[in-house]
């Protein structure tokens, strides 16, 4: 039996980052992986979807070349080539993880891993032991009883990334990040897309102003948006599917080639030995403390299988915190109120902290500022004037409570707000921080200026 200091189950952005940090700290480390290194994020999620969306963005530029004083005749796309490029990007990233694990002298154990009592892991009949076993098995597409996935006419995100042919009509159920990113991609490619969302607004976890703006942008792009609606049943037809949608006005029937179910995720905690070891689970989440220890000594869990936000950067941060604690380093518990969220549709969405509604419900007196990209020189020059930056401050102490952005490139801008909040920056400090001109990031400073009645460019 091979003996390690740390064994990590899963090599997604939680698992492989955890393993590398453990190795850096001098711990003999192994990872167990049943599929491709990099997990869902690198192979079927974060990375390949961004490759698809980049192709869609370039295609949009080609279609609107005349807006920039350019001429492109007969702009067309090769759907299969777009998918192939996306898969190539994913493959390259997976090979990158393989290189990093080898560089850090981490053993890769291929196969299906199950934890066992006595700090052991069984991988397809072969046993390994470790002082510390970290579960990072991630999640998969959740299935609704009314919307069972067959992988052909009713699909999840994995199939949506590798369809052999582009559908003419698509119904997307759910308007979280996964749903709207695929809706954005397929719409840009020329598919007729309808989004069905149960809540009153699309991207319902976002600030209401952002949700409403995004809904307008979707409709402007030609996407049909049905809110306060739910898919009750889906029937296969000769040509595709027929979906019965319950709306406030009654039932409506939609026809399409394919339905994409994007109604959230389900954790991968079945058949990994949790019951055998006696690890406590609440619904489909493993219960852990601030250091990701389960109720059983020597067993830990990070990422989507725990109660934190199911985001790649959260899983990485949790894994690093977990192994640094194991190595005896003094670490701070993660502040889950300062986790950025990003959606990479067109336009992009990025946010951190409280929404206006949450801040009001918490009893704060607020200073709120908003700066539209229509007033930004860089946005005008770039042809990307849709959207805005919204900032929320505590009027009494100047604490930066929340920041919400919608527009081109905002996923690359949100880190300013995350860092500012981490350092307990006040509104006046942001306002007196000189931002470069012309940039999209100026909108942050301008929004803060608006909150404090000092805005110049509005």
Per-residue CA distances from 381 to 137, 384, 385, 439 (Å): 45, 8, 9, 10
Output the DSSP codes for 89-150.
HHHHHHHHHHHHHHHTT-EEEES-EEEETTTEEEETTEEEEEEEEEE---EEE--BTTB---
Helix (H, G, I), strand (E, B) or coil at 355: coil
Spatial distance between the Cα atoms of 113 and 11, rounded to a whole number of angstroms? 12
Set 64, 330, 404, 437: catalytic member: 437
Cα distance between residue 375 and residue 447, in whole Å: 11
What is d(CA 456, CA 268) in angstroms, rounded to the nearest whole number? Answer: 51
Residue 435 annotated to the active site: no
Nearest to 47 by CA among 175, 174, 181, 223: 181
Closest residue by Cα to residue 41 from 51, 31, 32: 51
- Whether 174 and 264 have beta carbons less than 8 Å apart is answered as yes
Q: Is 256 helix (H, G, I), strand (E, B) or coil?
A: strand
Q: Which residues, in sequence order, are bridge partners of residue 123?
A: 113, 126
Query: Token pair for residue 188?
Result: 């840009």
What's the token pair of residue 177?
């990040």
Contacts by 232-239 with C-beta closer than 8 Å and gap 24+?
232/146, 233/146, 234/146, 234/147, 234/153, 234/154, 234/259, 236/153
Catalytically active residues are 437
């Amino acid at each position: 039996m091979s003996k390690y200091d740390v064994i990590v189950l899963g090599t997604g952005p939680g698992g492989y980052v955890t393993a590398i940090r453990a190795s850096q700290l001098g711990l003999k480390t192994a990872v167990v992986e049943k599929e491709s290194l990099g997990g869902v994020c690198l192979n079927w999620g974060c990375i390949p979807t961004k490759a698809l969306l980049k192709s869609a963005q370039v295609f949009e530029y080609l279609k609107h070349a005349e807006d920039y004083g350019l001429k492109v005749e007969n702009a067309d796309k090769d759907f299969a080539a777009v998918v192939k490029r996306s898969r190539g990007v994913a493959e390259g990233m997976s090979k990158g993880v393989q290189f990093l694990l080898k560089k850090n002298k981490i053993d890769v154990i291929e196969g299906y891993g199950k934890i066992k009592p006595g700090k052991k892991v069984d991988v397809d009949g072969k046993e390994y032991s470790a002082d510390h076993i970290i579960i990072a098995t991630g999640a998969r597409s959740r299935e609704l009883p009314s919307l069972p996935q067959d992988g052909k006419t009713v699909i999840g995100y994995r199939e949506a990334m590798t369809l052999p042919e582009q559908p003419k009509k698509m119904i997307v159920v759910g308007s979280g990040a996964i749903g709207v990113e695929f809706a954005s991609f397929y719409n840009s490619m020329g598919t007729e897309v309808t989004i069905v969302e149960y809540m009153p607004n699309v991207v319902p976890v976002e600030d209401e102003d952002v949700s409403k703006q995004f809904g307008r942008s979707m409709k402007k792009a030609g996407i049909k948006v049905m809110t306060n609606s739910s898919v009750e049943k889906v029937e296969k037809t000769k040509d595709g599917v027929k979906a019965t949608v319950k709306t406030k006005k009654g039932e409506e029937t939609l026809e399409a080639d394919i339905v994409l179910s994007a109604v959230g995720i389900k954790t991968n905690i079945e058949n990994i030995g949790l019951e055998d070891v006696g690890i406590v689970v609440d619904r489909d989440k493993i219960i852990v403390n601030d250091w990701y220890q389960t109720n059983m000594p020597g067993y830990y869990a990070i990422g989507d299988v725990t109660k934190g936000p199911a985001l790649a950067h959260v899983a990485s941060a949790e894994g690093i915190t977990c192994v640094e604690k194991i190595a005896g380093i003094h670490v701070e518990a993660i502040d889950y109120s300062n986790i950025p969220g990003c959606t990479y549709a067109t336009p992009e969405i990025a946010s951190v902290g409280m929404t206006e509604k949450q801040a009001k419900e918490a009893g704060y007196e607020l200073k709120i500022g908003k700066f539209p990209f229509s007033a930004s020189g860089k946005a005008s020059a770039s042809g990307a004037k849709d959207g805005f930056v919204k900032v929320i401050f505590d009027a009494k102490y100047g604490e930066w409570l929340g920041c919400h952005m919608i527009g081109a490139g905002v996923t690359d801008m949100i880190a300013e707000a995350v860092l500012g909040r981490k350092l307990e920056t006040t509104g006046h400090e942001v306002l007196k921080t000189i931002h470069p001109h012309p940039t999209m990031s100026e909108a942050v400073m301008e929004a803060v200026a608006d909150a404090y009645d000092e805005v110049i460019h509005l």
